[in-house]
Structure 1
Amino acid sequence: MPRTRTLPDEQLLEMVLALIHAEGPDAASFGAVAKVSGLSGSTLVQRFGTKAGMLRAALIHAWDRLDAETAKVSAAADKTPEGAVGLLTALSQDYGEDPATYAQGLLVLREDFRDPVLRARGAAWAKALTAALSECLASTPEAETSARLMLSQWQGSLLWWGFTSQGRVADYVEQELSLFLKTLLHRP
């Protein structure tokens, strides 16, 4: 008879994610997770099979959260070009206010690139985000192309913020995307 789980999966995966974000993906060993969760290493092996399985489960959980947040923010966004800026600015809130924290997030992104299942989640998210931005940019020429360019600008602005640390990340993103939008729409 299988042992009863003493921690719900969601709570355990949140602990794994917190460890990954604090110390990097390589630090998420069965021993380290056992220490923070209070579960035994053998219980973790039963649940996940391998360290890679545990990491994948935690990152899929993170993708699930991001998909839900994206759907919520997209539904609330005004269907205007300014709404597109607001949508991406809202999604930028979770990047932290410290470039070192953002850098830890890039280590997690490395894991997403390495795993084909996680890479597919990223591609699906980009597709959903492009569709949401296209709705906001419907009044612009070639809305889907504009949406894809805006996504690239958004990710670039996050990187440049990491180097410059100019104020809050959301403020920096909003400023940069507003400038992009002004240029895209040829507004003075």
Structure 2
Amino acid sequence: MPRPKTMPDGEVLKAALKLMHEKGPDALTFASLSTASGLSASTLVQRFRNKEELARAALLHAWDELDAKTEGAISAAPRTPGGAVDMLVALSGDYGGIEAYAEGLLMLREDFRDPLLRERGRAWGERLSGAIADCFSEKAGAPDDIGMLMASQWQGCLLWWGFNPTETIAAHVRKSLEAFLAAIGLPHR
């Protein structure tokens, strides 16, 4: 079968992300992406210049997808404490098991290494924690920083799930966040 002559960058970047998730970020090369996408390595070099630019473009594409998913979860959640839980459960996704989740953590390592990607993470955290805070009225007695506190609890419970993945990630996240709200004296309904 002949190689395709063109493929939109979005599809190429999805193939790059899939490769990075399946085999780790270090497995992304022009040769491996050529095999995965069907485009020639020289075509990929023309588009992305070098491996670092290719990896950055793929990870920025992943951030774009997470931003869109976040906006969808924010839009769908009622502005209640339970809505904040629902929002974070929706963002927890279905990693398909512990191995896929562990590979995802390698991607996070790459985000930490690059200042531009770190900035995307900072901005995303600010947007998410603000949306969480909006789910708590001032009368609810929530701490001023409830958004970041709850986002931090959520990220922690994802990590703890990784050590004992005996239930679905959604069930674990919901249970953990509801226990967190109860512990600080806030209703989750």
**TM-score for the superposition, normalised by structure 1:** 0.93
The runs of 4+ residues in structure 1 deviating greater than 6 Å are none
Supply the distance in 1 between the matched residues of 2:56 and 2:186 (Cα, whole angstroms).
Answer: 44
Quote how far apart the aligned CAs of 1:101 are.
0.8
Supply the distance in 2 between the matched residues of 1:141 and 1:57 (Cα, whole angstroms).
Answer: 42
* Contact persistence 1:30–1:44 (CA under 8 A): yes
* Contact persistence 1:113–1:119 (CA under 8 A): yes
Give the match for residue 35 of structure 2: 35
Greater helix share, structure number: 1
Quote how far apart the aligned CAs of 1:5 are.
6.0
* Contact persistence 1:13–1:58 (CA under 8 A): yes
Give the match for residue 80 of structure 1: 80
Supply the distance in 1 between the matched residues of 2:175 and 2:157 (Cα, whole angstroms).
Answer: 9
Quote how far apart the aligned CAs of 1:147 are.
1.3
SS in 1 for 2:145: helix
Write the letter of the residue equivalent to 2:62: A
Quote how far apart the aligned CAs of 1:185 are.
2.1
Mapping of 1:88-167 within 5 angstroms?
Answer: 88-94=88-94, 96-139=95-138, 140-167=140-167
**TM-score for the superposition, normalised by structure 2:** 0.92
Quote how far apart the aligned CAs of 1:143 are.
5.0
Aligned Cα RMSD in Å?
1.5
The alignment of Structure 1 onto Structure 2 pairs a total of residues equal to 183
Unpaired segments of 5 or more residues in structure 2?
none
* Contact persistence 1:60–1:118 (CA under 8 A): yes
Structure 1 range deviating more: 116-125 or 178-187:
178-187
* Contact persistence 1:131–1:144 (CA under 8 A): no
Mapping of 1:166-177 within 5 angstroms?
Answer: 166-177=166-177
Unpaired segments of 5 or more residues in structure 1?
none
* Contact persistence 1:158–1:173 (CA under 8 A): yes
- 1:55 to 2:55 alignment: yes
Give the match for residue 19 of structure 2: 19
Identical positions, percent: 48
SS in 2 for 1:74: helix
Structure 1, residues 17-47: CA drift from partner, whole Å, max 9, x if none? 1001100100010100001111111111110
